[in-house]
Amino acid sequence: MTSPSGGRRHRIGLIVDHPKRDLGGAVLLANALAARGVESALIPLYDQAIDVPLLDLDGLVVNFARPVNKPLVDAYADLGIPVWVLDTEGGVLAERGGNAPDALAAWVRESGYAERLAGYFFWGPVLRDAFVAGSGLSSASLHLTGCPRFDLTAPRWRGILEAPRKGYILANANFPLVNSLFGTSSDDEKAAMVASGWAPDYVDALVDDLKGIADRFIDVVSRVADEFPGETILVRPHPFENAERYRAAFAGRANVIVDGGGSVLDVIANARCVLHVNCGTAVEALRLGVLPLSLEFINTERLRTHSTLPYRASRNVESGDDLMAILRGLDEATAQFDFDAAYRRTSEPWFYLNDGHASDRIADVLVAAMAARRRARTRSVRTSLRSARHRPSAAQRAQAILANAIGSQAASRLRARVQPRRAAKTLVKDAVGALAIRFSRHQAVPAPQVSFARHPLTRLPLASVIVSPGSDR
C-alpha cells in the first residue's frame, strides 16, 4: 500500500489478545489511524512471533509488558521496531502485590523493559503517575489516553450499541481462575499469577475464596430466576471462562440464558442492570448508565481488597432479600443512582475521561512518532523463522518453519484443531471489516479497506489483518 506521494504508508501493528473483548477497541484505533493516512496490522496474540517480523512495521503496540513476552519485545526492538504498550488489564488493578501500580512500574524498570519501550499508553492517571515516579521511562513517553475499547461507552458512540435481546437482567460471571476456558486446570492459572509476582500462598487462598463465590453466584442467579419468572436473566461468562458450567447449572430454568457471544458493551448497554462480584464490567455499566449491583453478601474480604474498584463503582447489595427488593423497584433504583458522580469519584482516576476519544489520542501520538522517525525496513524472514526469539526451543522453531512454509493463517487453523481453545483468539477478516464499516458509518466518514496480510516471499495469507486508508485518501 502506497501513500499519495508514492512512498509506502506507515504501518502500525496492534496486538489483539482476545477478539471478543479487544477487537472493537483495536478496530476503533485502526480506523483512527486510517483517517490519519496510516495503515494498521491487527495481529493475533498467538501469531505475533511469526507475523510481526514479516509485516515491515514502523511501530508496534503490544498488549502488556510481562515476563512472558519480554523475549518477543527484545526481538522486535532489535529489528528496529518502536514498541509501545497499551495494557489490556490497565484499569482494574490491585492495591498491593505484583499487580499494584507501584509494583508494575518498578518491575518495568528492573526487568529492562524501560530500555526497550518507545512509550506506554495509560487507561488512567493513577497508573500513569506511578510510572512517572518509578518506571524508569521518560515522562514524555508516558501518555494518558484512556483505552479505545471503552470509547463506545461515551454518549457520542452509545447509539451504535445493539444486541439481539433487550431489557434483561445481566449476570456477569468473573471466575476464570477457577473455571478456565484456556487452562487445563486451575493450576495453570495460579502459576500465571505467581509468575506475575503474587505469593503462592496468597494465590491459593484467592482460589479457595473464588470457588466458594462462584458456587454462591450460581445460587443467587437461581433465586432471581425463581422469584422473577417473567424476567429474562442473561448469564454472561467471562471471555476466559468455560460456559458449560453455567449451562449445566441453569439447564432447568427457562428464563435463564447462558450466552457469552457478542461485545460485552453491546450486551451491557441493552440490559436493565448488571449483577456481579468483583467484575470490572461494573465500570462499563457505570459509563453506560446501567445500574451495577455488586453482590457483596457473597463476596469475601480478601477478594474485595484484591480489587476494590468494582464494588466501589457499584451499588452494593448486602443480602439476598436486599437484592430482591432492588430488582422489584429497579427503575426507581436506577433513577436515584448518580452515575456521573460515581464515575468521577471511583473510576475516572483509573479509566480517565468518558469522552470517546481514547483511540484519537493514541493515534495522534503514533502519527507524531512516525512523522519524527525516518522509515527503515524492519522485515526479517530469518527472525520469523526463529519465532522472534534469540533462543527458540525446537518446537518453536519447527512451528515457525511450518507457518512460513504454508502461511501463518493456515498454520493457525491447524493449531486450533489440535488446541480448540485457541480458535477463540483468531481474527476473522469479515468481522474486522464489519466493525470498520459500522464505526465509519456512525462517524459519516469513508470506511477503510480490510485485507489479510501476505507473506513477503510466498504471498500466502498471514493470520494478521491489514486495515488501510480508504481509496479516497
User: What's the pLDDT tens digit per position in 52-104?
Assistant: 999 999 999 999 998 899 999 999 999 999 999 999 877 767 777 777 899 99
Q: Which of 137-141, 239-243, 265-269 has the lowest mean pLDDT?
A: 239-243
Cell 430454568: give the residue: 253
**Sequence-ordered strand ranges (E) for 281-368:** 291-295, 315-317
Cell 502485590: give the residue: 97
- Residue spans per domain, the chain: 11-90+147-151+355-468, 157-348
Q: Which of 82-91, 132-141, 195-204 has the lowest mean pLDDT?
A: 195-204
Phi, psi at residue 407, to the nearest 5°?
95, 140
Q: What pLDDT was estimated at residue 256?
A: 98
Can you say how many angstroms the Cα of residue 235 is from the centroid of all Cα atoms in its chain? 20
User: What's the pLDDT tens digit per position in 282-317?
Assistant: 999 999 999 999 999 999 999 998 888 999 999 999
Q: Is the pLDDT confidence value at 184 over 90?
A: no
Name the band, by pLDDT with cuts 50, 70 and 90, for residue 3: very low
In whole angstroms, what is the distance from residue 281 CA to residue 436 CA?
24
CA atoms within 13 A on the CB side of 175: 27
In whole angstroms, what is the distance from residue 198 CA to residue 208 CA?
15
Q: What pLDDT was estimated at residue 396?
A: 96
CATH code of the domain made up of 157-348: 3.40.50.12580
Q: Which three cell numbers stand for residue 442?
A: 456512525
Q: Which three cell numbers stand for residue 456?
A: 513477503
Q: Which three cell numbers stand for residue 353?
A: 475521561
User: What's the pLDDT tens digit per position in 232-256?
Assistant: 999 999 988 999 999 999 999 999 9
Q: Is the pLDDT confidence value at 371 over 60?
A: yes
* Nearest residue to 173 (alpha-carbon basis) of 181, 185, 162, 163: 181
| Helix segments in 372-428, DSSP class H | 381-385, 394-406, 408-418
Cell 506475575: give the residue: 196
Collapsing DSSP to helix, strand or coil, 44 comes out as strand
In whole angstroms, what is the distance from residue 427 CA to residue 44 CA?
6
Cell 494498521: give the residue: 40
